[in-house]
Amino acid sequence: MENIPDNDLDRFLQAVGDPFQFPDLPLQDRRPVPTADYKPMGVAVILIEFASSDLWRNHLRRSNFASCEEILSTEEGRGDALKCMFHTATHSRLGLLRTPAKIIAAVRRLEELQCLNTAEVVILWAWTAGVADVAGYDAWGSIEHNTLNFYQTHGIRRLTILSRHITDTTMESSHKLFLCTHYQGFPCRVSGVQQPVPLEEAEKRWDRWLSEVRVAQACQLRRLYQLFGYDPMTWKEVVAVEEVDRNPGPLSGWSVTPTQFTDWACDYP
């Protein structure tokens, strides 16, 4: 990310192109090549990280995300992307979207490129338990404001995608590995202070870890309801159309009228 000369950034991203598309080569250039372990979603995740980088973001093109936008319009595609983001954040030396500022920068650049499905996946990632410390008012205040602005601008129609993601249980193993790698155990966000423990002890505390994650998910869901000015019943009424179609297509259409933003903290024990 750091060692490419400035005048080569455009050419590099043009060469990368769309990770999910391969240009048709002229017949004379089609030669057998060794099978490569190429994962287009991994490349797309790196491009998302580039969107958060001061050095790279302005060199990205909408064409870098053209096929990704189509893939991320489906529930399966979003799930694959989030699993890949967990893997990258866990195993990459550089991490992934490590601060609220980088998350917001990525969302804004993707909005500028009209890559709204990709931007929405970054918002889903931002609301994942453990990625940011919810006890930090400034950090979470910025993520909440960015989430609110995104759906105010592009419509409320897909908000149940976010609420379903917050309580999703299909990525628990990836989530557990991420937390153990970064915090040596569950960072107890509900009670405030993070208390790292040795990895061996964290493995023994699986049941407690899982219980605390579920409590954190409930807190996140309540935080989301309050952010948009709803309680659980009115939330279901407003976004009920989403339950009919789990892959509703592009963001569009409905307005959002939230209550005044307030400093809110989870009151679970």
Residue 267 lies in a domain: no
Residue 105 lies in a domain: yes
| Number of Cβ within a 10 Å radius of residue 158 | 24
Residue 269 lies in a domain: no
Residue 255 lies in a domain: no
Q: What is the pLDDT of residue 183?
A: 63
Q: Cα–Cα distance between 229 and 232 in angstroms, integer?
A: 10
122 and 212 within one domain? no
Q: What is the pLDDT of residue 190?
A: 44
The two tokens of residue 213 are 């994650």
Residues sharing a CB contact under 8 Å with residue 137, sequence separation 6 or more, in sequence order: 263
| Number of Cβ within a 10 Å radius of residue 164 | 16
The tens-digit pLDDT sequence of the chain (269 residues) is 667 777 788 888 888 888 898 655 455 554 555 556 788 999 999 999 999 998 888 999 999 999 999 999 999 999 999 999 998 988 887 778 888 899 999 999 999 999 999 999 999 999 986 677 666 677 788 899 999 999 988 887 778 899 889 888 887 778 777 777 776 555 444 444 455 556 566 556 666 667 767 777 888 888 888 888 887 777 777 666 555 445 555 554 344 444 444 444 555 44
Amino acid at 196: P
Tokens 């550089």, residue? 94
173 and 113 within one domain? no
Q: What is the pLDDT of residue 107?
A: 96
196 and 235 within one domain? yes
Q: Cα–Cα distance between 127 and 193 in angstroms, integer?
A: 19
Q: What is the pLDDT of residue 209?
A: 66
167 and 122 within one domain? no
User: Distances in Å between the alpha carbon of 89 and those of 95, 173, 180, 256?
Assistant: 4, 14, 12, 32
Q: What is the pLDDT of residue 84?
A: 93
Q: What is the pLDDT of residue 71?
A: 94
pTM reported for the whole predicted model? 0.81
Q: Cα–Cα distance between 69 and 238 in angstroms, integer?
A: 26
99 and 191 within one domain? no
Domain carrying residue 69:
10-24+38-126
Residue 259 lies in a domain: no
Q: What is the pLDDT of residue 74?
A: 93
Q: How does DSSP assign the chain, residue by residue?
A: --SS-HHHHHHHHHHH--TT--PPPPGGG----------HHHHHHHHHHHHT-TTTGGG--GGGGHHHHHHTTSHHHHHHHHHHHHHHHHH-TT-SS-SHHHHHHHHHHHHHTT-HHHHHHHHHHHTSBTTB-TT-HHHHHHHHHHHHHHHHHH-STTHHHHHHHHT--TTHHHHHHHHHHHHSS---TTTSS-----HHHHHHTHHHHHHHHHHHHHHHHHHHHHHTT--HHHHHHHTTHHHH-S---S-------PPPP--------
Residue 50 lies in a domain: yes
Residue 250 lies in a domain: no
115 and 221 within one domain? no
169 and 69 within one domain? no
Tokens 């009920």, residue? 240
225 and 164 within one domain? yes
121 and 163 within one domain? no
Residue 265 lies in a domain: no
Report the domain count for the chain: 2
180 and 112 within one domain? no
187 and 115 within one domain? no
Q: Max Cα separation, the chain?
A: 68
